[in-house]
A and B are shown apart, each in its own frame.
Chain A
Amino acid sequence: MNNALVHEPFSPATATIAGLPAIVLFVLIPLVGLACFAWIMARRIVPLLHAAPDSRLQRIPQRILLVLKIWLGQWRQPRYMLAGVLHIVVFFGFLILAARSTQLVIAGFVNGFVIPGFGGAVYNVVKDIASTAVFVAVVILAVRRAFFKPARYAVPEQYGKDHTPEALFVLGLIATLMISESLFEGSILAAGGGTGTFLTLSWAFAQALHGVQTSTLATINLAAYTVHDLTFFFFLCFLPFGKHFHVITSLFNVFFMRLQAGNIKPVVYGITEAQLDGLQSFGVKKFEDFTWKNMLDFYSCVDCGRCSDRCPANRVKRPLSPRFISIKARDYAFEHYPLFGKASGNGTPLIGGIYSEDEIWSCTTCGACEEECPVGIEYIDKIVDLRRGMVDEGMVPQSLQKPMSALEKRGNPWGKLEKNRAQWTAGVGDGVPVKLVEKGATAETLYFVDSITSYDDRMQKIAQATARVLNKGGVDFAVIGKDEKDSGHDVRRFGEEMLFQSLKEQNTEAIKASEARSIVVNDPHALNALRNDYADMPPVQHVSELIAQQAGSGKLKFKPVADPSKTYTYHDPCYLGRHNNTYDAPRTAIDCIPGLKRVEMKGNCRDRSFCCGGGGLMLFYEPEEEQRMGVVRVEQARQAGADVIVTACPYCLTNIEDAIKVAGLEGKMEVLDLVELVDQHVQS
């Protein structure tokens, strides 16, 4: 007998159970199963129909590519190698076995049914291997969950009970499916004298059942079939009750995932900035203020804990764990939109309900969670929307009210005088004139300095170094001066949309008036604001990109490193790296310095960079935390063997400089900005 998929000599469709035709049962199980599933899904969709609008149908080809890469290609899975590879096995096993399970179900009432193309020897070998591989993977996963208990699956007390029983239960269901399918196959093989695919489960069952009476084999076959049929439909209906909902939703969630990094969703999709004043309410206050995609995110959360494992806020024990932003909202949806009875989304506030104020303020919007999520769940937009809701209700910590008020009145969070904005230019040095737009100058390139680099004593050195490096590279540049306002980058991300709009309007006007044809910045937050939050700006470049270009073209030449005994490492600022995908230019710029030894913070660099503690208004926020993020970062640099941390963001510099002091590593570790390093080593 060959390996082709056959049902002979047994057929569930013609079998009898206790003298009655089994076909009745095998028609009933799928009917009831599908009816239940349809009902559950219909109820699960209800909250999405009450949700805020979302715009997710643009750039379909790009979306299809994302589905091919992230969903079908399981692209992000191997970032956690063991769990990732095991998931890939189970995922492809499920895809392969979908055809097998479907034809098994139909074979219960259509004698010997096969889906055309899925009845041959090749598919039969493939599905035998698949079910065996899935079974093995499931056993390893269960052992891992039950005995090795990876830390990221733990449920901290404040978030409720442990989720291990649910995980083990589902793994048990999958194992049952694999065993029953293989036993069904094995009993047929044993009856027909076949062997099946060597070393697979069905082969093992065929071996074990060899020589057993045909009538017994028939009973075993029918029992295996029945167990498979029942388990299959039970599992299908169980999926929408927990983290395995992702089996259904992840395809859609990935298709609808965000296409662009760095940006923030509008207050309401379809409402222009000019119409904002007409809105009754701002942001997310109650569950139904979330968009339907937000809700699909909640349904899709796999509870894998990768987001929280990479979340710097969670790492330093701030009261935020992105995983539970999703899980708590999902549980809220299940509770308030039940399967039976009236949906009671009664508009209770989320803040003070499932979320706390500090939880939502704790996020630095670094984007590590979104980078990691294997199913494309978004967090930053939700956090910002929740903050918009809090700002609208006046729930803003006192520590943030002062800088916000100063931003409104003076255009910078410290309330410094506008006329002193370009005071740093006095320290640039002889022979390097800095043109000022406030004095009527124009230039090809505008250097947008932003608040911290303009006013902070230490950060002014970055501005001065930037001016010198631009000058060396022969860039015709100017600085706006008193009419430059804070970019508002973090004002927007802290939920004060109207203040952001006001700052954006003032800057847009000042930038247009400067007549510059390109913009250069040293602050990645300013880069991100001008590039992704503002509209109709000239091209914006981070100074590291410009330096890398000019080093490449020979416009900038470098002296050998001043102190060759030191080891350097580069810290990727979130808003340069993850949000603007610039990882190589700063490294290229550093590596241009002859003799400089640079190491990577392996596992914590590039798109896995660990946030320094956050920029903009986060400098003013007083979080509950056990440790500073910057201290963790400095420790990572030290473990990589570095004594100098080079960064490319004034906020990173501030936080890391403080962290070195807090960690008591003054004299052992130092930090400086990339432009300062370049400024020290560029040949005159």
Chain B
Amino acid sequence: MEILVCVKRVPDSAENEISVAAGGADIRRDDLVYSVNEWDNYAVEEAIQIAERAGGNVTVVSVGADAEEVVRREMAMGAGQGVLLNDAAFEGSDGLGTATILKAAAQKNKYDLILTGAQADDGAGQVGGMLAALLDWPYASLVNRIEEKEGNQLRVGREIEGGSQEVSDIELPCVLSIQTGINEPRYVGLRGIRKVASVEIPVLDASALGVSADAVGAAGAKVKRVDYFVPEIGAGAEMIEGSTEEVATKLVDLLKAKGGIK
């Protein structure tokens, strides 16, 4: 099975102090460290496991000027190939723009399956669905289980409201957006990254992809971010006081009263 996994480089919320930059339309980026979007990491692990079981290749693709480090990290994890999509015209893309770029990359090769993360730390959870629509492929979101089936199908499990599980069969080729917890992504250390440090990663720009520059990037974006703000702390927080037992009892009562537990 030929599998394409779309990954994104994001500021890791665990390793940064995120604050809003002056102007309000972005966060302060001068002292950030970046990593692979957590959901995408699960998607790559899942792709590697499918390829280990069913044979095939895993290709990792990412859009952006600085995306090489995350692609390399995912290759160190075990993805066979990496592709970088970079062009000045791509900057400022909205979700549809990013999906358009990825669609062009997906059509460069014959893939059976495309995986994306369900969402990104700094995203809106829209690229997976849009990519499927642009390709006119079937799509399942928030997938937390994948089994290969006979007859060009996958059986996928999805987590739905209230933690229940929905199981569906989906025809290949398809796009799946992957939920965390589907597997336990393997660890990638410095040693693994150094091993793939000299592997060539092809870079495709707008013309190589055949993407029209006005359809993507800031020029093509139909969604524009206008503000970021930290919500003000409102009233409604209640501190429960007393001994551990008292606190626990009061908490249980409260949760019952508010319908949190039955």
Contact in complex: B189, A496 (CB < 8 Å): yes
- Which residue in chain A gives the minimum CB-CB distance to B16? A415
Give A402-418 as 1s and 0s: 1 = Cβ < 8 Å from B's Cβ atoms.
Answer: 10111011100001010
A410 touches B187 (CB 8 A): no
The stretch among A21-29, A213-221, A387-395, A628-636 that forms the contact with chain B is: A387-395
B31 sits at the interface (CB 8 A): yes
Contacts A394-B77, A409-B33 given; does A417 touch B187 at CB 8 Å? no
> Does A499 sit within 8 A of B, measured CB to CB?
yes
Cβ-closest chain A residue relative to B48:
A394
CB of A282 within 8 Å of the partner chain:
yes
Q: Is the CB of A277 within 8 A of B186?
A: no
CB closest chain-B residue, reference A403: B14
Known contacts A410-B33, A417-B31: does B14 contact A395 (CB below 8 Å)?
Answer: no
- A419 within 8 A of partner (CB): yes
B12 contacts chain A at the CB level, 8 A cutoff: yes
A498 in contact with B189 given A398-B184, A409-B35 (CB within 8 Å): yes
Q: Given the interface contacts A406-B14, A406-B15, A415-B14, does A391 sit within 8 Å of B189 by beta carbon?
A: yes
Total of A-B residue pairs, C-beta within 8 Å: 59
Residues of B within 8 A of A400 (CB): 187
Instruction: Kindly state whether residue B149 has any CB partner on chain A within 8 Å.
Output: no
**From DSSP, what is the main secondary structure of chain A's interface residues?**
helix
The CA-CA distance from A415 to B11 in the complex, in Å, is: 12
B192: chain A residues within 8 A (beta carbon):
394
Q: Which residue of A lies closest to B36 (CB)?
A: A405
Assuming the contacts A409-B15, A415-B12, asked whether A392 and B184 have C-beta atoms less than 8 A apart, the reply is no
**Min CB–CB distance A400 → chain B (angstroms):** 8
- A423 at interface, CB cutoff 8 A: no
With a cutoff of 8 Å between Cβ atoms, the chain B residues found around residue A394 in the complex are: 77-78, 186-188, 192
A277 to B192 alpha-carbon distance, docked (Å)? 10
Interface residue? A502 (CB, 8 A): yes
B253 interface residue per 8 A CB criterion: no
> A414: shortest Cβ distance to chain B, in Å?
8
- Which of B12, B33, B187, B194 is A277 in contact with, Cβ under 8 Å? B194
- Let me know if B258 is at the binding interface, CB within 8 A: no
Q: Closest residue to A398 on the B side, CB-wise?
A: B184
Partner of B190, one of A402, A406, A415, A499: A499
| B191: contacting residue among A282, A404, A409, A415, CB under 8 A | A282
Residues of A within 8 A of B15 (CB): 405-406, 409-410, 415
A391-B187, A394-B192 known, 6 other contacts, Cβ within 8 Å: A394-B187, A398-B184, A398-B185, A405-B15, A417-B31, A496-B190
Task: List the A side residues contacting B190 at CB < 8 Å.
Answer: 408, 496, 498-499, 502
Q: What 9 A-B pairs have minimum CB-CB distances, sorted nearest first?
A: A394-B186, A415-B15, A396-B187, A498-B190, A409-B33, A498-B191, A394-B187, A406-B15, A415-B14
Which B residues are closer than 8 A to A by beta carbons?
A: 12, 14-17, 31, 33, 35, 77-78, 184-192, 194
A401 within 8 A of B: yes
Q: Report whether B188 and A417 are in contact in the complex, using a CB–CB cutoff of 8 Å.
A: no
CA distance A396 to B189 in the complex (A): 10
Indicate which residue in B35, B184, B186, B191 contacts A405 across the interface (CB closer than 8 Å).
B35
Give B191's nearest chain A residue, CB to CB: A498
- B-chain residues with CB within 8 Å of residue A497 when the two chains form the complex: 191
Taken together as a complex, chains A and B put the C-alpha atoms of A400 and B190 apart, in Å, by 15
What is the interface size of chain A, counting residues whose CB is below 8 A from a CB of the partner?
Answer: 28
A413 to B15, CA, bound (A): 9
What's the least CB distance linking B257 to chain A, in Å?
Answer: 28
Chain A proximity of B248: nearest CB distance (Å): 13
Q: Give the residues in chain A near B184, CB-CB below 8 Å.
A: 397-398
A405 and B192 CA atoms in complex are apart in Å by: 13
Q: How far is the CA of A22 from the CA of B189 in the complex (A)?
A: 70
Of A398, A405, A415, A419, which contacts B31 at CB under 8 A?
Answer: A419
With beta carbons under 8 angstroms apart, the residue of B16, B78, B185, B187 that contacts A404 is: B187
B245 → A minimal CB distance (Å):
10
CB of A357 to closest CB in B, whole Å: 11
With A and B bound together, what is the CA distance between A406 and B12 in angstroms? 10
What CA separation (Å) do A498 and B184 show in the bound complex? 22
**CB-defined contacts of A502 to chain B, threshold 8 Å:** 190
| Cα distance A282–B195 in the bound complex, in angstroms | 13
- A282 and B187 CA atoms in complex are apart in Å by 14
Compute how far the CA of A395 lies from the CA of B31 in the bound complex, rounded to whole angstroms. 31
Bound Cα distance A192, B145 (Å): 88
Q: Report 13 cross-chain contacts, Cβ distance below 8 Å, ordered by A residue.
A: A391-B189, A392-B189, A394-B192, A396-B187, A398-B184, A398-B185, A404-B187, A405-B15, A409-B15, A415-B14, A417-B16, A417-B17, A497-B191
Q: Judging by beta carbons under 8 Å apart, are B187 and A401 in contact?
A: yes
Contacts A409-B15, A415-B14; A499 near B189 (Cβ below 8 A):
yes
Report how far A441 CA is from B186 CA in the complex, Å. 43
Write out the residue numbers on chain B whose beta carbons fall within 8 Å of the beta carbon of A499: 189-190
Max chain A Cβ within 10 angstroms of own Cβ: one of B15, B31, B185, B188: B15
> Could you say which residues of chain A place their CB within 8 Å of the CB of B31?
417, 419
Contacts of A397 in B (CB 8 A): 184
The residue in chain B whose Cβ has the minimal distance to the Cβ of A501 is: B190
On chain B, the residues within 8 Å of A276 by CB distance are 191
**Separation in Å of the B69 CB from the closest CB of chain A?**
11
Measured CB to CB, the nearest residue on chain B to A401 is B187
**Residues of A with C-beta under 8 A to B188:** 394
> CB-nearest residue of chain A relative to B197?
A277
